[in-house]
Amino acid sequence: MKHPIWKLFLHLAFCYGFALHNVHASPQSNEPEVRQLWQLLDYVAVDYAGAVQNGSVISEMEYKEMQEFSERARSQVIALPPHASHAALTSIVTRLQQAVARKDPPLRVSELARDANKLLLAAYPFPVAPRCTRRSARPATARPEPVTALSQRGLNRSQSRSPTGSGLGRAHSWHYTR
């Protein structure tokens, strides 16, 4: 035997790792393009109603933008990597482009764009929610004030609490706020 078994094992592990990396790297490498396509389709779904009403153009500038965006969406879908849903996605986006050209009702165009977005997210998933949530400005040790009978009656907390926390306040008198 010319090669020790550990060299063969190392070679197989390297090849497996390389193949695994390539499989997982593909969907993430096209995320910016997919995200932009998703935004284009969403924009058409929302703003088409401001361009066309009752089969006529009400804003020429908006309508030209909708035509451009639907054409760009179609070319971007065609450029996406192969997927089982690629043909269906291409078909929906082509119908969307045709609907914009025919000046179809806004509801129909919106349905087509949203259907295309659903199919796009199913075929080429990417995170739509924020990657992290904003942290509270309050420090971690701060706790919400408990609701007590005193706070419900409108007592001023600084007047009703003593520094020791006994609740006896200034000279044992209660001061109501208005």
pLDDT per residue as tens digits for the range 31-46:
899 999 999 999 999 9
Question: Does the residue 8 lie in any domain?
Answer: no
Same domain, residue pair 161 and 107: no
Same domain, residue pair 73 and 148: no
Same domain, residue pair 151 and 110: no
Same domain, residue pair 172 and 115: no
Question: Does the residue 148 lie in any domain?
Answer: yes
Same domain, residue pair 102 and 37: yes
For 156-176, the pLDDT digits (tens) are 555 555 555 555 555 555 555
Contacts of 121 (CB under 8 A, 6+ apart): 38, 128
Does the pLDDT at position 60 exceed 90? yes
Kind and range of the H or E run holding 64: helix 60-79
Boundaries of domain holding 172: 144-178
Same domain, residue pair 101 and 164: no
pTM of the model: 0.58
Which of the 8 DSSP states describes residue 153? Answer: T
Same domain, residue pair 80 and 161: no
| String of DSSP letters for 120-172 | HHHHS----S-SSPPPPSS-TT--PPPP-HHHHTTB-HHHH--TTS-S--GGG
Number of compact structural domains in the chain: 2
94, exposed or middle or buried, with CB in 10 Å at 0-12, 13-18, 19+?
Answer: middle
Same domain, residue pair 37 and 110: yes
